[in-house]
A and B are shown apart, each in its own frame.
Chain A
Amino acid sequence: MDITSIAQWASELPISQFIQTSSWAFPTIEAIHVIAIAMVFGVIAIVDLRLLGIASGSRRITEVARDCLHWTWIGFALAVITGSLMFISNGTVYITNNFFLWKMGLLALAGINMVIFEMITARTIANWDDGTASVPFAAKLAGLLSLAFWFGVIITGRWIGFTLYQIPF
């Protein structure tokens, strides 16, 4: 079973049919998706800016991360749920959209960047946590890449809406 037939099958589910035909369902799901993205980007940026030394400089990185990261995950879960609902309503069209594919790729890169930071770079975090020693280049780069990838996710995500049916809306 290839991806196109899976997308086709998903788009015929009752819930997909409902999202397609209802006047309010898609806009509501999309609006919640925007709230979720605002939460993901707005909160992850706090950690990224701390790594880059731009904000929260007086606080430990681990403390900033502890205050922020679980909210980012909650926002991300909400974005995945709402995103999946939008996807299944019209999957056969989304999988042919370049911006959609780029967005998925950037999401994967954001994930890889996070794993590398958590598994490798952050091993020595005790040495540069409190702001007295300078943050290593790899950690600053992780912060910058995180901002860049999520910015890219927003850019490509918004362009999906303008390219899906070849007419701007």
Chain B
Amino acid sequence: MQAFAESLSVTPLSFFIQQELWVIPWLQIVHIVALALVFGSVFMIDARILGLTGRSQTMTQTARRFIPWVWIGTVVLAISGSLLIIGEPVRSLLNPFFWIKMTLLAIALISTAAFQTSLNRNPAFWEEDHAWRGYIRILAVVALLVWCGIIVAGRFIAYIENFAVY
């Protein structure tokens, strides 16, 4: 990984991102706006599952309204995030917070896809009151916390020096 990060850091694109001091702030701004769209959408879905908002809408209506934004936002996050990695490969790829973030991100995306599939196949399971209701609510809270964890780990990438033991 060290060798990969170093070879990435000497590519022309990486040089460009490093040398033009406006590029990284603007990439981070795009990253934050896309993140806000994803987080807002995930929040509305999870809050609907918890019965905190949008009760006049069915689960399927809520998911149709917000899940596309999760995926669109994720694509923008992936592009801006990849460019940030290319600009600062050593800072990111060798950073434990980065890998915590990626692990949580994988969990979040897999669970979003699983939710979408499950809702398509069996909307009643998400709609009606039954014995699993409590577990579903716990899942919604966990999903929201995972996204919060992604944001926290993401911001902590910049502060690794505060914690580095090496």
A59 to B25, CA, bound (A): 37
A55 to B151, CA, bound (A): 26
A1 to B65, CA, bound (A): 52
A162 at interface (Cβ–Cβ under 8 A)? yes
- Across-interface contacts of A13 in B (CB, < 8 A): none
Q: Mark B35-46, 1 if CB is under 8 A from A, else 0.
A: 111111101100
B53 touches A71 (CB 8 A): yes
B162 at interface (Cβ–Cβ under 8 A)? yes
Taking each of A43, A56, A63, which has the highest tally of chain B beta carbons within 10 Å of its own beta carbon?
A: A43
B56 at interface (Cβ–Cβ under 8 A)? yes
B interface majority secondary structure: helix
B79 at interface (Cβ–Cβ under 8 A)? no
In the complex, identify which listed stretch (A28-36, A100-108, A118-126) lies at the interface while the others stay far away. A28-36
Interface residues on A, range: 20 to 34
B163 at interface (Cβ–Cβ under 8 A)? yes
A145 to B124, CA, bound (A): 40
B54 touches A42 (CB 8 A): no
B162 touches A31 (CB 8 A): no
In the complex, identify which listed stretch (B26-34, B108-116, B127-135) lies at the interface while the others stay far away. B26-34
Q: Which of A27, A38, A55, A151 contacts B39 (CB 8 A)?
A: A38
B32 touches A34 (CB 8 A): yes
* Size of the chain B interface, CB-CB below 8 angstroms: 32
B93 at interface (Cβ–Cβ under 8 A)? no
A151 touches B33 (CB 8 A): yes
A45 to B44, CA, bound (A): 12
| Closest chain A CB from B70 CB (angstroms) | 11
A154 touches B155 (CB 8 A): no
B15 at interface (Cβ–Cβ under 8 A)? no
- Across-interface contacts of B151 in A (CB, < 8 A): 31, 34-35, 38
Taking each of A26, A35, A42, A68, which has the highest tally of chain B beta carbons within 10 Å of its own beta carbon?
A: A42
B159 at interface (Cβ–Cβ under 8 A)? yes
A158 to B32, CA, bound (A): 9
| Closest chain A CB from B24 CB (angstroms) | 7
- Across-interface contacts of B154 in A (CB, < 8 A): 31, 34
B25 touches A42 (CB 8 A): no
B28 touches A41 (CB 8 A): no
Q: Mark A13-29, 1 if CB is under 8 A from B, else 0.
A: 00000000001101110
| Closest chain B CB from A48 CB (angstroms) | 11
A169 at interface (Cβ–Cβ under 8 A)? yes
A76 to B163, CA, bound (A): 30
Mind listing 22 A-B residue pairs with CB under 8 Å? A23-B162, A30-B155, A31-B151, A31-B152, A31-B156, A32-B152, A38-B35, A38-B40, A41-B33, A41-B36, A42-B37, A42-B43, A43-B43, A55-B65, A56-B65, A67-B54, A68-B44, A158-B32, A162-B24, A168-B21, A168-B25, A169-B158
Closest 5 CB pairs of A and B: A42-B40, A38-B39, A41-B36, A23-B162, A31-B155
